[in-house]
Structure 1
């Protein structure tokens, strides 16, 4: 049977399905309901109490009318059944909603019901058109409602018609099972064919919930199996250099020259690295730590292990400012030891660059710190044994793969100061082992965070002046560089002029993304040297910049920033011995989400807790940013809501990978047929194809 064989499927309807990505019977079977009408939860309107309860009502539209004027204009749709009437009210989008309805349409409303005057009302109810109110009685207890769109509506592809097609497909087709029986039994999953029946023709709520779990598991399992296969092939394919000697650099540095005590988190991460580099296999490890948790010293420990065993190390940072900062930090730490550290960035003079490249190729350079310049074709290492990549999410998997070509399978250590919730780490960084550094190094004081209205600016500036006179420095961050007519936000250039007058006894600098790279570096260097006391900036100072003397962070229009962004900004202070203060300044109008973000920032300094909250607010795509590659697109699963299924899927994937990595056993043959093409597609992303 083919898609064209379905009843009532005209050429125009076939085209409408294709425009929605439905080109086969399986595609149509996978067009899952987005909601179900449960006859037991559909109330006659007269029985709706109107006390804020969530209900479903079904009836015919009696009246469509618009009331009020200007900003108070609203759309009212009166829905009537055999018992009474209910009013659906839209205060926004009424012009669009009005076009969707006609009088006498059969409609289901979903929402919170409240009594206003003589009507029970629903504000902005969700709604679905149905073919007839009697359908609720005629169909089975659970009625699937399928996603629709303009093309479907134009071609009259209704929920009822899609349901009829699903019945025909399931009568003639039996989608093949590919999950091994032991996996299904272990995780209590229905068979595939039965799952399609349960999702399209459920006999109870538990049935369609079970079916959705099956399909979510299926998606996550295939993804986790591809990751497990990738990781297995990396481990099997790549032998890693053995770092067994620790005498010349590592032990002397940590025993004699380190000026502070390591935290338990740092010790644990170093132990993980030591185990990796002595395993004989290539290390691929992510060090996750909150801002200021001391990841650099852990990276330095790994670098010294490489040097002790005759290897070179490369340290990559996403920007020149950060590369120079890491260069200074490593050089200062290693000053007592005989180690040659070189800095390789894009804007160096030809003579200096030639000298550095000669040092790297000849083996005189022990550690090269730089930007993406480190992975350019002209850079040839003498004996690269370790690559450290800072702020991994700012690079990407391809650039991580490129550094591997610079040596004979060098160990790879990637670091991220952007806390990533466990669910995202399990997908985005599943090909890496993960170490998490918790806690702050000794002597660091937690940053005190306050939320203030913009009317308190005089008090805020008086406090800042007091801090400056006591030797501190301050950041003032604005969301825009120049004034925007569309958004009532203060811009950095105007703020700079105002603050220059207010703090006339001090040096005030301006830093923003539209400045040339060398201009930004010069301003930042002045701030680091305390030649500038107040730095007015946009979010270019968000990640990685380390100025221990800076003790105040003021964020203007803080309600417009994301949670993780606010946390990164706050992480620029509290890096020295001074008590530091973050002041989040908000405007008159703050959304519900904006208030939540500000409150969360004041409540906690735990970056992982903040990241979890941010992920729930924004979803995975927005959380990572549109340019972030590598996050898989799931049709049914949600890696935030379905973390427990994700963990089950990962466990099942590794169980099979450990049992039979090439899927040669008879019980894995059906899985192999599905997995091989899936894996070939995914392996392009991991650089395995």
Structure 2
């Protein structure tokens, strides 16, 4: 963040939008003006009212992450992202390909193995080769969702067993969904939340609904002129792109805005505390230098002070006359 963006002297009523009643909030005095800022300028609606949450999930979110409001939920940012902007072809896959994404269709579905070791196998082709999609659990449920000869996208980690490639338990979605989620968020979750359906994908689903319902309530603490000067996207854009970025470029813009705002208000808080120490907290005032100090300084100090030391002594003398607090080593 540029140094001039956090300089107290650069602040004015025209650069930062003034707010009235938000919680939490604080004021900073600049000359004779009072500027009010918000550290959380968005809705404080309880998370229990979010689509797909309800009392039980809301209680778990509060217990596991301390999330009780929509605002806190929107600040539950992804800890990493999966790039799904690239597509692979089956003929180029090998044991070291890792996670891959392929466009194609299923041509055959069958269940193989002994009764206690049954597995569901679907043959998938992209027109250039074939690969098996394998499910060892939930075969009955998965089979109902599979459609033959229908365009789809599969995503999973390549497994190579005896030279035969497969994708165990892959993700399946329509090509249109793949285009919308080129960069997919991955959220922190817990075992308790996962059992209640709030794994990373479950959280992402709720997040989309919350953003759609609550973004209109988000307040922008910075004016357009201030954002333009510091090359910042809006608060609404940052919240949208940090969760569902259309591209890596949009993600970086969102991160930059969120980091800037966090450090801006952190430094603004420090400036407030500094001003409060100088104006509101008064100590004992020493109007005159005592005779004992003068005698020691003039006659008993066993060495000559450097110019820098003399300057500091003079500064300290000036501070003790004002009664203001000092922060010195």
Calculate the TM-score normalised by the size of structure 1.
0.28
Alignment correspondent of 2:73? 28
Shift of 1:48: 8.1
The question of whether the paired residues in 1 share the 8 Å contact of 2:47 and 2:67 is answered with no
Q: Cα distance, 1:36 vs. partner?
A: 1.0
1:197 CA drift (Å) = 0.9
- Select 1:259's aligned residue among 302, 305, 316: 302
Contact 1:33–1:200 (Cα < 8 Å) also in 2: yes
Question: In the alignment, is residue 150 of structure 1 matched against residue 191 of structure 2?
Answer: yes
In structure 2, relative to structure 1, the CA distance for the partners of 1:140 and 1:246 (3 Å cut) is same
Unpaired runs of 5+ in structure 2? 1-44, 102-123, 139-153, 158-162, 164-168
Aligned residue in 1 for 2:250: 207
Q: Indicate the residue corresponding to 1:177 in structure 2.
A: 219
Contact 1:276-1:282 within 8 A present in 2 as well: yes
Q: Helix, strand or coil for the counterpart of 2:218? A: coil
Alignment of 1:92-131 (within 5 A): none
> Against the structure 1 CA distance between its residues 263 and 12, is the aligned structure 2 distance closer, same or farther, given a 3 Å change threshold?
same
Structure 2 counterpart SS, 1:284: coil
Partner of 1:19: 63
2: distance between equivalents of 1:226 and 1:247? 37
After TM superposition, give the deviation of residue 235 of structure 1 in Å: 1.8
- Structure 1 equivalent of residue 271 of structure 2: 228
Which residue of structure 1 aligns with residue 143 of structure 2? Answer: none
Cα 1:145–1:238 change in 2 (3 A) is closer
Separation of aligned partners in 1, 2:48 and 2:287: 66
Are the structure 2 counterparts of residues 184 and 269 from structure 1 closer, same or farther at C-alpha, using a change threshold of 3 Å?
farther
Deviates more, 1:267-276 or 1:18-27: 267-276
Output the CA distance in 2 between the equivalents of 1:103 and 1:267.
79
The whole-number CA distance in structure 1 between the counterparts of 2:208 and 2:231 is: 25
SS of the residue corresponding to residue 143 of structure 1 reads: strand
How far did 1:198 drift? Answer: 1.4
Alpha-carbon deviation of 1:242?
A: 5.0
TM-score, structure 2 normalization: 0.54
1:264 to partner: Cα distance: 6.3
Contact 1:175–1:193 (8 Å) recurs in 2: no
Q: Cα RMSD over matched residues?
A: 4.3
The question of whether the paired residues in 1 share the 8 Å contact of 2:238 and 2:257 is answered with: yes
Residue deviations 1:110-129 (CA, integer Å, cap 9, x gap): xxxxxxxx9xxxxxxxxxxx
| Corresponding residue of 1:39 | 84
Closer, same or farther: CA 58–49 of 1 in aligned 2, 3 Å: closer
CA shift at 1:29, angstroms? 1.3
Deviations 1:644-684 (A, max 9, x none): xxxxxxxxxxxxxxxxxxxxxxxxxxxxxxxxxxxxxxxxx
1:165-222 CA-partner distances (Å, limit 9, x unpaired): 2222222222332523154344333222222111112122232222233333333333
The corresponding residue for 1:599 is: none
* Change over 3 Å in CA distance of 1:257–1:222 after alignment to 2: same
Q: Deviations over 1:591-636 (max 9, x none)?
A: xxxxxxxxxxxxxxxxxxxxxxxxxxxxxxxxxxxxxxxxxxxxxx
Partners of 2:279 and 2:85 in 1: CA distance: 56
Could you tell me how far apart the structure 2 residues matched to 1:212 and 1:3 are? Answer: 24
* Alpha-carbon contact 2:241-2:251 (below 8 Å) kept: yes
How many corresponding residue pairs?
227
Runs of 4+ in 1 over 6 A off after TM superposition: 41-45, 47-50, 81-85, 104-109
Deviation readout 1:571-602 (Å, 9 max, x if unpaired) = xxxxxxxxxxxxxxxxxxxxxxxxxxxxxxxx
Structure 1: any 5+ residue segments left out of the alignment?
Answer: 60-80, 86-101, 110-117, 119-129, 288-689
Partners of 1:131 and 1:266 in 2: CA distance: 70
For residue 82 of structure 2, give the secondary structure of its aligned residue in structure 1: strand
Aligned position for 2:41:
none
